[in-house]
């Protein structure tokens, strides 16, 4: 097993990796940019290396700087977290050349599965069901029109090289198809460095259900049940749960087998996620493979008791899986809410700024993977996720109520957050009934506005805070970190 690893990421996911490493006796190295000089992941790691300006290309996306940091600290492996370089095949290749273990799948697997057209071809050849769509790239309007006519409207235009909703367009008729294709291609080029697009049949009433997989380099592969991720804004997940209210044991077993089949067909190693679209007839179709740890991995950990980061490290050390399929059993129900610094009333526009006050929820069955604190400045350069709030309970109904109460006790002042919106979503009758399709927000929450009562209370609290003498404010206490906070991981003897 490794004695030291570098975490090529920031925020709550870096802290998540640090915690598992600490339990395993593995030293950690954090990297940080100008915006993260006072970030928790820098403070909590055993060592920290400055890698540059806040602009991601100058720091967290700079392969040379991250490799140099790993080499100078004597790190043996690199954990990429999610986002940034986590699905960058060139980075995985570079780690191998520099004799650093990349904690993830091999570069060729990342490359093949990161290209959605190639991934579709692999799945088709292995018998995994795929949505009707293009099987090879095309860059001319005539081919786009021809393919759309063959697939049948509506069609979904997607970037071949990326995800996260970028480069995606839904087209309901031939009017505007070519224009939408060009727009998607330009957006994909800007986001991923590749303007290649493809299209597939758009299922208007569908669920987004994914299967967590683990595979080792000895050819063993298992799945760790499903996660339902249908509650999305701008094609990005905001609420996830497991088990899915739509799956019965037979369907769960079939999707799990298909995910393992996909892993073996692609030569997958380490933790990953096979994503499917599930239609109203309970037919499922391959969507893509995320070749990394997912944001929503904690809910799988909550119901299975498996530490996925620990398993990642185990597999990366070239050890066989310690689990088999019979060991995996789900217990209870778990829900995750992504807490973003964003404004749901303004199309979820990011809300960077200083967190004046933060109070996290706590209690039995409540987990909050948080990367910020009172006084922290939420930077504009990065994804505005603050934390992942997770609950676990015996039943789905209990989990929903526990999450609502946890959200209501979650206080964040200074920036706008998605918390009030999440409370309303979880309180909606359609969510309670399990009517969770990918069009949920568009159907029930178009033009959502927060109740003024909550805003008035927040204004009163903010005004009361502003009236307190400066020397006694929480803000002044946390703007300057104490020596104890800057020591990082320390022990008293």
Please tell me which residue in 111, 233, 292, 367 is annotated as part of the active site: 292
Q: Which residues contact 25 (CB under 8 A, 6 or more apart)?
A: none
In the beta sheet, which residues pair with residue 368? 389
Give the span between the Cα atoms of 99 and 462, in whole angstroms.
Answer: 52
SS3 sequence, 101-121?
EECCCCHHHHHHHHCHHHHHH
Closest CA to 319 of 420, 205, 215: 215
Give the span between the Cα atoms of 355 and 384, in whole angstroms.
Answer: 12
- Do residues 489 and 45 make contact, with C-beta atoms less than 8 angstroms apart? yes
Closest CA to 350 of 417, 410, 413, 296: 417
Q: What is the DSSP letter of 321?
A: P
Instruction: Please report, for residues 226, 444, 446, the alpha-carbon distance to residue 348 in angstroms, rounded to integers and kept in the order given.
Output: 27, 16, 12
Upper half-sphere CA count for residue 140 (Cβ side, 13 Å)? 3
- Do residues 108 and 89 make contact, with C-beta atoms less than 8 angstroms apart? yes
Rounded to 10°, the helix 177-192/141-151 angle is 110
Give the span between the Cα atoms of 158 and 165, in whole angstroms.
Answer: 8
Active site residue 292: yes
Give the span between the Cα atoms of 229 and 205, in whole angstroms.
Answer: 14
Residues with a catalytic annotation lie at 292
């Amino acid at each position: 097993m490794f004695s030291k690893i570098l975490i090529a990421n920031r925020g709550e996911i870096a802290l998540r990796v640090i915690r598992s490493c600490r339990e395993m006796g593995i030293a950690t190295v954090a990297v940080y940019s100008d915006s993260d000089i006072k970030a928790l992941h820098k403070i909590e790691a055993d060592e920290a290396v400055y890698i540059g300006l806040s602009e991601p290309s100058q720091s967290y996306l700079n392969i040379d700087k991250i490799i140099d940091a790993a080499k100078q600290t004597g790190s043996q492996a690199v954990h990429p977290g999610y986002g940034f370089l986590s699905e960058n095949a060139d980075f995985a290749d570079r780690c191998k050349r520099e004799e650093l273990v990349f904690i993830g799948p091999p570069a060729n697997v990342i490359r093949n599965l990161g290209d959605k057209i190639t991934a579709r071809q692999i799945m088709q050849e292995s018998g995994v069901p795929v949505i009707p769509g293009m099987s090879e790239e095309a860059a001319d309007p005539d081919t786009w029109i021809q393919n759309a006519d063959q697939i049948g409207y509506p069609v979904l235009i997607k970037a071949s090289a990326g995800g996260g909703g970028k480069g995606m367009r839904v087209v309901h008729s031939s009017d505007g198809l070519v224009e939408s294709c060009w727009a998607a291609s330009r957006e994909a080029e800007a986001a991923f460095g590749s303007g290649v697009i493809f299209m597939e049949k758009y299922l208007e009433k569908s669920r987004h259900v994914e299967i967590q997989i683990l595979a080792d380099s000895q050819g063993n592969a298992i799945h760790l049940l499903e996660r339902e991720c249908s509650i999305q804004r701008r094609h990005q997940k905001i609420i996830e749960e497991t088990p899915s209210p739509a799956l019965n044991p037979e369907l769960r077993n079939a999707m799990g087998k298909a995910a393992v089949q996909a892993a073996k067909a692609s030569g997958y190693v380490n933790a990953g996620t096979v994503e499917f679209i599930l239609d109203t007839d309970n037919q499922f179709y391959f969507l893509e493979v995320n070749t990394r740890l997912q944001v929503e991995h904690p809910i799988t950990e909550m119901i299975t008791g498996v530490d996925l980061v620990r398993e990642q490290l185990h597999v990366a050390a070239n050890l066989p899986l310690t689990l088999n399929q019979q060991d995996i059993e789900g217990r209870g129900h778990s829900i995750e809410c992504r807490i973003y610094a964003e404004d749901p009333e303004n199309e979820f526009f990011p809300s960077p700024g200083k967190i004046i006050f933060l109070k996290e929820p706590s209690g039995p069955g409540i987990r909050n993977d948080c990367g910020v604190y009172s006084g922290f400045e939420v930077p504009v350069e990065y994804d505005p996720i603050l934390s992942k709030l997770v609950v676990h309970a015996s039943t789905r109904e209990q989990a929903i109520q526990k999450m609502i109460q946890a959200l209501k006790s979650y206080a964040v002042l200074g920036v706008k957050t998605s918390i009030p919106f999440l409370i309303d979503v979880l309180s909606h009758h359609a969510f309670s009934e399990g009517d969770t399709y990918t069009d949920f927000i568009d159907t029930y929450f178009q033009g959502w506005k927060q109740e003024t009562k909550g805003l008035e209370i927040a204004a009163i609290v903010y005004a009361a805070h502003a009236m307190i003498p400066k020397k006694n404010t929480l803000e002044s206490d946390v703007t300057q970190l104490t020596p104890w906070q800057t020591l990082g991981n320390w022990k008293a003897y």
